[in-house]
Amino acid sequence: MRPQKWRLDLLEPLITEEQLQRRVAELGAEISRDYEGRDLLLVAVLKGSVVFLADLMRHITTPHSIDFMATSSYGAATESSGIVRILKDLDMPITGRNVLIVEDIVDTGHTLAYLRRLLLEREPASLRVVTLLDKRERREVDVPLDYVGFVVPNAFVVGYGLDYAELYRNLPYIAVPKEGFFDEE
Ligand code: IMP
Ligand code: MG
């Protein structure tokens, strides 16, 4: 596969680094209050959620551990097909634990709906969801979100963990591609 061109000039910032950092700190404080005195396991979905997880957990002041899952949906890169495949399962059992799923973005909701069903079968003490971004206009299945960073419009976004063709995850802000971004060179 030929590497994609790095087209920073064709990205329009949508959520700035400052806005992200302020909101992630607020979410961390809220989660810390809600889980005070309780066990907590953060379950992040690879790879998009790692940047959010890394910042969020440093704002959670109560004891907690982390674990990872990897999922993949069949079909085109920027469209969700609703069929989800588990590429990597959790390392640890979650029975009787307070689990908080950490997501980068909820789009159609299929990935999260599938993940919730899968984790609920393992009988955690509780199961909640924190997502940095909620693209709710695109929702196809109703899935409860307990903590939401930002509601975003119906547009493809990159940065802060979110990729296009595996690039741009390292941007400290969230951006929307401009005209020409997706064109072949
Ligand atoms: P859903 O199953 O449609 O909710 O899709 C969820 C997954 O699709 C996310 O975890 C992302 O990996 C990917 N995704 C959805 N929208 C975007 C986007 O705007 N940019 C990058 N990835 C996205
Ligand atoms: Mg994802």
- Percent of the chain residues topping a pLDDT of 90: 84
Our mutation pick for probing the ligand 1 site, out of 162, 163, 171, counting the most ligand atoms within 8 A of Cβ, is: 162
Q: Which of 39, 67, 104, 107 is catalytic?
A: 107
What is the residue-averaged pLDDT of the chain?
92
- 53/65 Cα distance (integer angstroms): 11
Q: Specify whether 39 is catalytic.
A: no
Burial bucket for residue 106 (CB in 10 Å: 0-12, 13-18, 19+): buried
How does pLDDT run across 19-36, given as a tens digit for each residue?
Answer: 999 999 999 999 999 999
Task: Give residue ranges with CB within 6 A of ligand 1.
Answer: 48, 80, 104-112, 135, 156-158, 162
- Is 0.85 surpassed by the pTM of this model? yes
The whole-number pLDDT of residue 150 equals 98
Which strands form 41-46's sheet, in the order they lie side by side?
A: 84-88, 65-73, 41-46, 98-106, 126-134, 147-151
81: pLDDT confidence band, cut at 50, 70 and 90? low
Distance from Cα 35 to the centre of ligand 1, integer Å: 27
Rounded to 10°, the helix 17-34/50-57 angle is 60
pLDDT tens string 121-170: 999 999 999 999 999 999 999 999 999 999 999 999 999 999 999 999 99
Helix (H) or strand (E) holding 106: strand 98-106
Burial grade of 75 (CB within 10 A; 0-12, 13-18, 19 or more)? exposed
Write phi, then psi, for 18 (nearest 5 degrees). Answer: -65, -45
**Tell me, what's the pLDDT at 85?**
81
Question: pLDDT tens digits, residue range 88-131?
Answer: 999 999 999 999 999 999 999 988 998 999 999 999 999 999 99
Query: Number of helices and strands (H, E) in the chain?
Result: 3, 8
Q: What ranges do the domains of the chain cover?
A: 8-177
Q: What is the mean pLDDT of residues 75-98?
A: 78
Cβ(42)–Cβ(66) below 8 Å: yes
Provide CATH code, domain 8-177. 3.40.50.2020
